[in-house]
Amino acid sequence: MDQGLKMLTPSTRLVLITLRQLKIARLCQIMESTGLSKRSVLYSVKKLKQMGLIEINVCLSDTRQRFYCITINE
């Protein structure tokens, strides 16, 4: 697992670190905390999801919103 984390881009690592701190966040919160563009955050989220490090949950009251959650046991 550590080898996989070393292969991540700096922006993806930053998103992962941010989600570790926030535990759960929306896209706009991640963008605000990291200073990254929407495109960079979406790419990072996609890679982290593929690696099984985060979960993406849909808001039930507004299905346009997504919540990103960390899945690593700390």
Give the strands of the sheet with 24-26, arranged side by side: 24-26, 66-70, 54-58
What CATH number does the domain located at 7-70 have? 1.10.10.10
- Pairing state of beta strands 66-70 and 54-58? antiparallel
pLDDT in tens, the chain (74 residues): 556 677 889 999 999 999 999 988 999 999 999 999 999 999 999 999 998 899 988 888 888 888 888 875 54
**What local confidence, expressed as pLDDT, does residue 74 receive?**
46
